[in-house]
Each structure stands twice: as structure tokens, then as C-alpha cells.
Amino acid sequence: METKKALPILFAVMFLVMVGFGIIIPVIPFYAENLGASPTELGLLMAVYSLMQFLFAPMWGRVSDRIGRKPVIMIGIFGLGVSFFLMALSSQLWMLFAARIIGGVLSSANMPTVMAYAADITSEEDRGKGMGIIGAAVGLGFIFGPAIGGVFSQSSLHIPFYIAGISSMLTFFLVLFVLKESLPKEERNKQSTGKRLSLLKAIKGPESVLFFLSLFITLSLAGLEATFAYFAAEKANLGTTELGYIFMIMGLSGAIVQGGLIGKATKRFGEGFVIQVGIAVSALGFLLILFTNSFMSAAIYLTVFGVGNGVIRPCVSSLLTKRSKTGHGSVTGVLSSFDSLGRIIGPILGGWLYSIAIGLPYISGIFLAGVAFVLFRIYMASPKVSTDAL
């Protein structure tokens, strides 16, 4: 399938998947409370989904190397849709947990396989552009999804789950009838018989800095999302409506940069340079956030952070798929696992740091960005890294 035709379809698929996922975000806390969930149980309900993705994303990535991308993407989207319908029908808390677990296990197939698909259909020169387009689709889906969920939840808390389920099923048929397979049978044989990448190998391997960079991206973003509402209320007296607009502005800015500028920047300067700029801009964003005192300053400072944070991920994905000796699905599966780990740890760490001092999560973010920058500089300055371990 030609790249020019495939990438827009892949963008639409990932956008619709993330819209469906985003629709339930503003609803699920209230839905769970109605089923008797305590604050601790609500936290576990949110965490269990990311835990399942952490555990199963590498497996689905390897499966896609063996049987092809399209069937695995279809499994992921179908499983996500089923989980939404199960949540809509849940009448007890354990049923909601079961639905989230099922959704986490099956939908963990989506992100690594879509990234692997993008790697399959793009040349090394255009790899950054392909990964940037996927990142833009994810960002836009997270913007529109919660807005749709918030509107439809006003009449009934069940409706957003049904809408998300229907959206997922429509996306399933889009993949079934429109998306072509990106991995020929002969390539599947090569990738499935090659070396396998596990989490342990990723930590010990020569590309470990890139995986930890991915963890840093998600960890810092999740920590910010978990604490900024309290920080903004304290520093600028901002409420939920203003915060919704601020995160929407941040998300739109990040999506524009990922979808429109990443490809050009990586072609001209290379992924390594763009990653370093992204880390530096993220650190600057964290520093500026400490001086938030109004709606306008909050929107600008979070946008600075969001743009810096957002450009790193596509470049990391691009570099890893270029350097890895394993199948694309294998490496993107482990990469997705690191992302999920960040979503598990980030809110907990951010909340704990905030309880010590209100600006500490962002000061810590500056420190982590500095460590990430130094490690990446050392990594980039070393002789060309052998990827045999991957």
C-alpha cells in the first residue's frame, strides 16, 4: 500500500480509536462512584487498564510480526469496543473492573501495531513524519473524545460508553475494508524468526536510553495532568472549565507540531537533534509552569511543555525502528509497555511530590529532563551503537 494513501487511513484509524477511548475519560469516575467505588478503588480501576497494557503490549507487537499488522489491529479495536459495551452494561463494580481488564489486554494491541505499520510503510528518511502523524492522531483524539463524552454524559452516564463502543466498531470495519496489510508474508517469516526483544533486554540493551526517554515523556506528562488542576487553582484560581480549554490548547499545539513539523525537522536535522531540543523545551515548560498566575500564562506555559514533550516520542519511535534488529512490532510493543509504565507511576509520583511541596513535581521534571538530556548526549556522542542486542 502506497505511503501517501496509507498514512491518512492510519491517521483516521488511530484518531477514531483515541476518540472512543477519550469519550469515557470524564465519565468513568462518576460511573464508578455510582457503582460504589471508593477513591482507592477508582484509582485502581484507572491503573489496571495501564497495567494490562504494560504486560501485554510486547506480546501483541511480536504477534503482529508473525501474522501481520492488520489482524492484530482489528483484534485491538474489536476488544476495545467490546470493553466499552461491557462497561455500559455493568451493574456491579467487579463487572467494571472485568471490562477494564479485558479492554486493557486486547486494546494494548493497537498502539504498537499501528506504529509498526507506520514503520513498515515509510522509508527511513520519512520515518519521523510517519510517527509524527500517528502522534498527532492520538493527540487530537484525546482532545475531541473527552469533549464528546462530557456533552453526552449530561443526559445519561451510560450513553458515552455506547457511543465509544459504536465508534470502535465503525473503526473496526474501516480497518477491515479499507486498510491494506503492510507486512508481506515473506517479511513476516523474517521478523518472526529473528531475535525477540523483551523488557529485560530493552533495559540492558544499547538502545536502553531511548526506552527510558519514552518512560520520561509519559511519566512527566501523567504527573502534570494529575497535579496541575490543584496547582492552577492555588496559583491562578482556575476552575475546571478553564483547565479544559488549557489542555485543549496544549493538545492542539502538540498535534500541529507532530503532524506538520516533525517530518521536516527530522529530515533536515535528524531525530537525535530534535529529541534534544524537545527535552530542553520540556524542561523550559516545567520551569515556566512554576510562574503560572493567570489563564493566559497557564495556557502558554503548558503549551511550551506540551510541544517539547510531544516532539520526543515520534523521534524515539523512529530511531528505534531504524536501529532495531528485531521486527518493528517487537520493538514498538516494548516501547508501548514503557509508556504504560509511565502512566501507572506518573500520577502516583506526581501526587506524592505535590503533597510535599506544590511545585515539586515540576522542579523534579526539570531535574529528570536534565538527566535525560545528559544521558542522551552521552548516548549520541558514543560511536555508532551496535544493535545486535536488540
Tell me the CATH number at 321. 1.20.1250.20
> Residue 142 has what pLDDT?
86
> Residue 43 has what pLDDT?
84
* Total of domains in the chain: 1
Give pLDDT tens digits for 194-210. 556 666 666 666 678 88
- Length of the chain (residues): 390
CA atoms within 13 A on the CB side of 198: 2
> Residue 54 has what pLDDT?
93
What is the domain range of residue 279? 3-381
Number of neighbouring beta carbons within 10 Å of residue 239 = 10
- SS3 of 101, please? helix
Instruction: Evaluate whether residue 24 is within a structural domain.
Output: yes
Nearest CA among 112, 85, 127 for reference residue 334: 112
Q: Round to whole Å and give the CA distance between 159 and 150.
A: 10
Residue 120 · residue 328 · CB < 8 Å: yes
Instruction: Evaluate whether residue 285 is within a structural domain.
Output: yes
SS (HEC) of 123-173: CCCCHHHHHHHHHHHHHHHHHHHHHHHHHHCCCCCCHHHHHHHHHHHHHHH
pTM given for the model: 0.87
Instruction: Evaluate whether residue 388 is within a structural domain.
Output: no
Nearest CA among 242, 238, 314, 230 for reference residue 271: 314
> What parts of the chain have a pLDDT lower than 70?
1-4, 189-206, 380-390
Q: Which helix (H) or strand (E) holds 31?
A: helix 28-34
> Residue 147 has what pLDDT?
85
Burial 112-133 (b: 16+ CB within 10 A, else e): bbbbbbbbbbbeeebbbbbbbb
Instruction: Evaluate whether residue 176 is within a structural domain.
Output: yes
Give pLDDT tens digits for 118-154. 999 998 888 999 999 999 999 899 888 888 888 888 8
Instruction: Evaluate whether residue 389 is within a structural domain.
Output: no
Helices (H), 261-387: 262-269, 271-289, 295-323, 328-356, 360-381
Measured CA angle at 60 (ends 59, 65), to 5 deg: 100
Instruction: Evaluate whether residue 284 is within a structural domain.
Output: yes
Looking up cell 506544590, which residue turns up? 358
Who contacts 374 (Cβ-Cβ below 8 Å, separation ≥6)? none
Instruction: Evaluate whether residue 97 is within a structural domain.
Output: yes
Q: Round to whole Å and give the CA distance between 88 and 159.
A: 8
Q: Round to whole Å and give the CA distance between 227 and 241.
A: 16
Cell reading at 8: 491518512
Instruction: Evaluate whether residue 387 is within a structural domain.
Output: no
